[in-house]
Amino acid sequence: MVQDSIGVKIGIGSVIVVVALLLSHWLDSSTFAQETGKSQSTIEKAFPGSSKCKRCHERVFEEWETSPLSRSIHSPAFRASLDAFLASPEGKDKALCFRCHAPHVREFPDQAQLFIDQAKAGDPSLDGVACAQCHLIKQVDRTKQPPEPKYELGSKTLYGPYKDFVQNLAHQSMELGLFQKSDLCLNCHQSVPSAANLGKTNDLLGNWDQSKAVKSGKECQTCHMPEQIGESANGEKKRKVANHTFPGRIGKLRQEAAKLEVQTKIEGEKTTVTVKVQSLVPHNLPATHPAWATVALDLHIKGKNLKTVFTDKRVYGRVYQDAKGQKTSFDFEAVKVLEDTVLKPEELRVETFTFLTPKDTKTFDVEVTLNYAAIIGPGPFLQRVEAESTKGAQDPVFQPIEIVKYAENISVK
């Protein structure tokens, strides 16, 4: 009887301990969730979500929604790269990637982990680069490297390029010349996250400010936010407005990035194809972040029955070396630039290909294509990108994107 009583007491005591532990865990989880929610609420109060802007700016929202900027912390490649970065020695600076991919982290550096958790979730409720992340910038400090945005928080004023803005109850508006200048874009697009001070050997845009395009008065917005006729706010009178799809690698703008001039010369058994690649953009082609970004010039020679008899290529990009002397696709691991074949602003590059003249055919086809190449990198990284994507290996990041193509049928005399 005494033993039974002791057993009951021990059993009840064990239950009480387990319940206490579970209750403690639940309270901790609940507290964490409340704190996280409070943190996100504070961030969104300072930087309202783009969904709120959609109510009045439907056209702009729908354009932005199709742009790469809207997926700045959504993309599988970013999430896979973020994991690699956080696992590296440089990953101690948790906010580094987000200073461009979600610039408002600059105002909330103590919430870097929240941004990481949001990105890793795959379907973040926090915006990356959206309306407020640009339209709350009042100044860009170009004395800093990279240039640093200065946000105007605590007020309801949004900045933009228009004088004749419409009065509304949602926010105040103010015209700012900054929104028609390249300076607005530089705080992200002139930033290269390197583990070492590679200096000019790792410049992202090249000497863009010395280009003919810039000297003629063109700004980033001229090409990447081209003017169109439309309404800025719902129901507003139509006028010249900026396009917010941000064309570049995606969009028809890429077809204006370069032109090809091809000459084929047959000398008996030897044929030479000379390709002049003229970059038409005022910055590096490709811009070298992400570090795996490359442009490829592909040559295909097709002989009898359109059978490919010769192929060759030239790759424009950068090859990095890490501290262990290995090649790396991550610029944050780079301590050295091993090779630089990037097309510099408005550069003309001449490439020569030599091969045996196709036999048993009266003609052959010369096909030359300049592409934004598919993502490259170590196998585990590519597998991670594939795993992160809902489209798997069919994700567009694994497919080349054509810039310009040239084809000609050559007679064999």
**pLDDT interval class at 31 (50, 70, 90):** very low
pLDDT averaged over every residue in the chain: 88
Nearest to 259 by CA among 389, 136, 358, 346: 346
Which whole-number Å values give the CA distances from 315 to 275, 318, 339, 374, in the listed order?
A: 14, 9, 11, 12
pTM value? 0.86
Paired residues of 158 in beta bridges: 173
**Residue 181: predicted pLDDT:** 95
What is the pLDDT averaged over residues 154-182?
88
What fold characterizes domain 252-411? Answer: Immunoglobulin-like (2.60.40)
Helix (H, G, I), strand (E, B) or coil at 313: strand
Which segments of the chain belong to CATH 2.60.40.2360? Answer: 252-411
- Name the residue with higher pLDDT: 26 or 317: 317
Tell the burial category of 226 from Cβ atoms under 10 Å away from its Cβ (0-12, 13-18, 19+).
middle
pLDDT tens sequence across 365-400: 999 999 999 998 889 999 999 999 999 999 999 999
Q: How far apart are CA 29 and CA 12, in angstroms?
A: 25
The pLDDT score that the predictor gives to residue 21 is 47
Reply yes or no on whether the pLDDT at 175 is more than 80. yes
| Residue 340: count of CB within 10 angstroms of its CB | 16
Q: Which of 60, 187, 186, 47 is nearest to 125 (CA)?
A: 47
**What number of residues does the chain have?**
413
Give the Å distances, CA to CA, from 302 to 265, 357, 363. 16, 11, 9
214, containing H or E segment = helix 212-215
DSSP state of 237: P
For the CA atoms of 264, 265, 266, 267, the dihedral, rounded to the nearest 10 degrees, stands at: -160
CA separation for the pair 382, 329 (Å, rounded): 11
- The pLDDT of residue 241 is above 50: yes
* Cβ-based neighbours of 391, under 8 Å, separated by 6 or more: none
Reference 60, options 247, 250, 246, 244; nearest CA is 244
Identify the residue whose tokens are 């790759």: 315
Q: Please, which residues have CB within 8 angstroms of residue 296's CB and are 6 or more apart in sequence? A: 313, 314, 315, 316, 370, 371, 373, 400
